[in-house]
Every structure is written in C-alpha cells, then in structure tokens.
Amino acid sequence: MGSVDSINSRSLNKIGVPWGIVTNGSPIQQTVVENLGMYREASAVVVSSLVELRKPDKRIFELAMSLVAGELSADKFLFVGDNPTADIVGASEAGNKTAWLSRCREWAVGNCNPDVVIESVGELAGVISA
C-alpha cells in the first residue's frame, strides 16, 4: 500500500489486515519509514532504490505482494496511492485492485481507472469493510 498514516495503519493491524509500503525513492525512505514507527507495523516495506525496481514496474508490486501475504492472488490486494501513473496504473498492471488518493484532483489517465477514489486515507476503513 502507499500513503498510509500511522493511525490507520494501527487500525488495519487491529483488524488483522496485512499491509505494506511501496515507495520510489532513495534508501533514505527506509529511514523515514523507520522513524515514523511504521516499519514495525507494516508487513513489508519496499523501497525502489534498494530493490532496483521503480513504480510503475509491475514487478515492484509483485514483490510487495509476495512479502505481505505470499500466496494470495493479486486481485485480493488493494493498492492505495496518490500518483495516477506510478501507483494506480502500475498496481493495475500487477493485477491489484486500486484506490486513488485524489486529494480533490481530477483523474487524468485515459486508459486506466482506479477501482475506488478516496479523498483521504481516513476513508479506507469504509472501503475495506465494504
């Protein structure tokens, strides 16, 4: 998953939903995740520069899926992201369901649509329980 804050990550853990972080960035991203305390809570943290893959390459999503829940099929994963191309198109190509964190922006990618559009991460609980 992308873009998850610590309050919602605790909620996901409390109800037994495994989740992870996939981020394009330098190794510093790993330190940021650790400093936020999310490294202990996430089932997986995948930093592009450390695995030599970058979103939207579907292989980075496949790697994250294998670390989060191994044998589950790709369509059982919901990837949440705020970048239409890197996050939503990439995760869709990996077979994931997608939730676009729009932050009040209009969708501008013509050949792919997110499964769900949310304005804030706080809306995830309703999406997951539905």
Alpha helices in the chain (DSSP H): 6-14, 28-35, 38-41, 48-51, 58-69, 90-93, 124-129
> Is residue 61, in this structure, part of any structural domain at all?
yes
β-strand pairing of 44-47 with 78-81: unpaired
Count of domains for the chain? 1
pLDDT per residue over 107-127, tens digit each?
988 889 999 999 988 788 778
> Is residue 55, in this structure, part of any structural domain at all?
yes
Kindly report the CATH number assigned to the domain that includes residue 116: 3.40.50.1000
> Is residue 1, in this structure, part of any structural domain at all?
no
Domain that holds residue 84: 6-129
> Is residue 125, in this structure, part of any structural domain at all?
yes
Cα–Cα nearest to 76, from 46, 96, 104: 96
CA dihedral 64, 49, 21, 103 (to 10 degrees): -120
pLDDT per residue over 10-66, tens digit each?
777 787 788 899 999 999 999 999 998 888 889 999 999 999 999 999 999 999 999
β-strand pairing of 97-101 with 78-81: parallel
Report the share of the chain in percent with pLDDT over 70.
93
> Is residue 11, in this structure, part of any structural domain at all?
yes
